[in-house]
Amino acid sequence: MTEQPPPTSPTPSVPAAPAAPSTHALAVVMRDYLSYGESGMADLKEAVHSVRRKPVINAFCQHLRRILEGEVPVPTEVINKEFERRAKEDGPLEDGTPAEPVHYDDQQAYEALADLWEYLDLTPEGEPEGAATAVKSAVRSGRSQLLWVDGDPLHALKTWMSWRSLALFLVGVVLCTVSWAVYERIDAAFLRSLMLLLTLAGFVMASIGGGALWLRRVRYVNPDAFLPSERKAKDGRR
């Protein structure tokens, strides 16, 4: 990627535009997290991967994604201002000499942000890559696949459809519906008992047939569905 041109300062006749919320989020994250070194980066990673992320963290992740994709300029000035502020806050060195703040050019700032992106384990969409994100994406993918599968729908239907299960489901529905309708219209105790028994039998038949069709459909979408999952040893903390 080519270096971004350095930001130009506004002319005296034109007032500077207020900082965008995403740029403000970057400044806040640098001040509250990144200025504290490794401990601050660890706290930032925990905040990024928390279940309920703060709005400023969301804005920071999206802004970071846009920077790395070249949609917005590299905020080198914002980064260097935070370095200067931190150097003034820390004060002079032990020998009394003033601390020299770190100064990045555009390329160095971009590389630092790219390293930060990898450290935070973010997806290409700016979302945290972790167990919670994996579960959400799997649920969304499974939900969409259950509704529709790419390819020829007729071929897919012939692949997972069981005509016996379908016939059992339809016969059960018809038997249950007709038996219940007759049950409500007759007065003979013996016939009412018989119709109630047929209604229950039809309900069971429809449940078995419909459940078998649903299981075949799920297994067609995901062949590993309902299989026992192997327990994996938890990775140790780094």
Write out the chain's pLDDT in tens, 238 residues: 444 444 444 434 334 334 455 568 888 888 888 877 788 888 888 888 877 778 888 888 888 888 888 888 888 888 888 888 877 776 666 666 666 767 888 898 899 888 888 888 877 777 766 544 555 555 445 544 444 555 566 777 777 888 999 999 999 999 999 999 999 988 888 889 999 999 999 999 999 999 999 888 887 777 766 666 554 444 433 3
Tokens, residue 225: 């569905």
Residue 229 lies in a domain: no
Residues 123 and 32 in one domain: yes
pLDDT at residue number 188: 85
CA–CA gap between residue 105 and residue 206 (Å, rounded): 70
Residue 113 lies in a domain: yes
Containing structural domain, residue 163: 143-221
Residues 109 and 176 in one domain: no
Residue 1 lies in a domain: no
Q: How many domains does the chain have?
A: 2
Residues 172 and 217 in one domain: yes
**Which of 83, 103, 129 represents a domain boundary (last residue)?**
129
Residue 227 lies in a domain: no
Residues 6+ apart with CB under 8 A from 25: 56, 57, 59, 60, 63
**Which of 64, 94, 129 represents a domain boundary (last residue)?**
129
Residues 45 and 78 in one domain: yes
